[in-house]
Amino acid sequence: MTSTEKTPTLSPVADAPAAGASHEAEQAYFDALITEDSRVEPRDWMPEKYRKTLTRQVSQHAHSEIIGMQPEANWITRAPSLKRKAILMAKVQDEAGHGLYLYSAAETLGTPRHVLNEQLLEGRAKYSSIFNYPARTWADMGAIGWLVDGAAICNQVPLCRASYGPYGRAMVRICKEESFHQRQGWEILYELSHGTEAQKKMAQDAVNRFYGPALQMFGPPDADSPNSQQSMNWNIKRFSNDELRQRFVDMMVPQAEALGLTLPDPDIKWNEERGHYDYGPLDWDEFHSVIQGKGPCNVQRMQRRRAAHDEGAWVREAAAEYARKNAEQHAELMGA
């Protein structure tokens, strides 16, 4: 702050409430940060509901990355070329990384990772429903990259400006890395749609299965999304579910054309007046039933996650024990 036009002493936001400040002063300080579109940082006072909402959102996002590794990991060992195998491995590995960036952000809100993990393993925390669908064919690797990661990126780009600093910073890193994910998916589909008849069919079939669920990744229609407004008021969310969904459809239509594939919605049509593509209704009954546990792979995904956790317990314990033994030995050597 070097300008004389706006000296720091005159900026109300820089004026943090003093120690022992009243609740009203704390709330006012927080509100001012939000109004100024500034960032809330971990050690700032924040309303309990803001903390809870964020913890839930960020950890669910992290869980989605981790569970989302499974459908793709399913194809690493069968990838049809060594180059594709390497790319897919790097991508799934990135997802583990993104999960960790997000857990790292969630932890700054005060809940340790192992507690967040327990919430997932005990079925108390949700993750994105899309990962409860099976990855049946190699073309699904393309559809997941193009449509699922595409939708995720559409959702995530505005989150880079989320009011909570650590979340926004994690999203910046994730968005940078994910741009390759969508492109590799598009490229898989491109190769298939320009390949043999069987490959083309495989590609179209994958797009048919993933298109609807990908559009549902933005959440229920605005009218049925009661918590969205609060998140928008807090500058966590910047655009409504339907706004983001529209933006996504507008991007996907020309990309599908470039692929030579058809989006499975006969109602897709350019609307000159709106300046957007119209699209048909989505099957929200299916969406809600998958959330309620009726998806084709809900049980399988959780079972794999629990198995990894349980079977790894002795390894984590041994490493922790080794660290303790080493520290004791070190203390003895130092004569402590």
Partner 1 sequence: MSYASFESATRHSEGESIIAEDIATSGVQASEAVARYALALGDDALMLGQRLAHWISRAPELEEDIALGNIALDLIGHARFFLTYAGTAWGKTEDDLAYFRDEEEFRSVRLAEQENGDFGQTIARQLIFSYYQYELYTELMKSEDPTLAAIAAKALKEVEYHQDHATAWALRLGIGTEEANRRLQEGLYYMWPYIDELFYDFEPVAELPGVAVVPSTLRARFEERLHATIAEAQLQVPDVPQARGGDRSGVMSEHRGHILTELQVLARAHPGATW
Partner 2 sequence: MSENITHLPESNEWPLWEVFVRSSRGLSHVHAGSLHAPDATMALRNARDLYTRRNEGTSVWVVPAEAILASDPDSKGGFFESAQGKSYRHATYYTKSEGVKHL
Binding status of residue 258 toward partner 1 by CB under 8 A? no
* Token output for 289: 């039933």
Rule CB under 8 A: is residue 170 a binding residue for partner 2?
yes
**Binding partner of 195, given partner 2, partner 1, none, CB within 5-8 angstroms per partner class:** partner 1
User: Is 39:33 a contact under the CB 8 Å cutoff?
Assistant: yes
DSSP-assigned letters across all residues of 130-169: GGGS---SHHHHHHIIIIIHHHHHHHHHHHTT-SBHHHHH
332 near partner 1, judged by CB under 8 A: no
Binding range to partner 1, per CB under 8 A, among 7-15, 36-44, 146-154, 190-198: 190-198
Give me the 131-150 binding string for partner 1, x by CB under 8 A, dash otherwise: -------x------------
DSSP secondary-structure letter at 277?
Answer: E
Q: Stretches 40-48, 57-65, 135-143, 223-231: which one binds partner 2 (CB under 8 A)?
A: 40-48
Burial class (CB in 10 A: 0-12, 13-18, 19+), 81: exposed
Considering only residues 89-118, where is the footprint of partner 1 by CB under 8 A? 89-90, 92-93, 96-97, 99-100, 103
282 close to 249: Cβ distance less than 8 angstroms:
no
Instruction: Determine if 179 is a binding residue for partner 2 (CB under 8 A).
Output: no
- Minimum Å gap between C-beta 140 and partner 2 is 24
Among 38, 45, 125, 286, binds partner 2 (CB under 8 A): 45
Of 105, 43, 86, give the one whose Cα is nearest residue 184. Answer: 86
Q: Looking at the DSSP assignment, which residues form a beta bridge with residue 271?
A: 276
Does 292 help bind partner 2 (rule: CB under 8 A)? no
Contacts for 27-32: CB closer than 8 Å, 24+ residues apart: none
Which residues are paired to 270 by β-bridges? 277
How far CA 253 is from CA of 82, 143, 257, in Å, comes to 31, 14, 6
Which residues are near partner 2 by CB under 8 A? 2-4, 7-9, 14-21, 41, 43-45, 90, 93-94, 97, 100-101, 104-105, 107, 112-114, 169-170, 173, 177, 313, 316-317, 319-324, 326-327
Which residues are near partner 1 by CB under 8 A? 66, 69-70, 73, 76-86, 89-90, 92-93, 96-97, 99-100, 103, 138, 188, 191-192, 195-196, 198-199, 304, 307-308, 311-322, 325
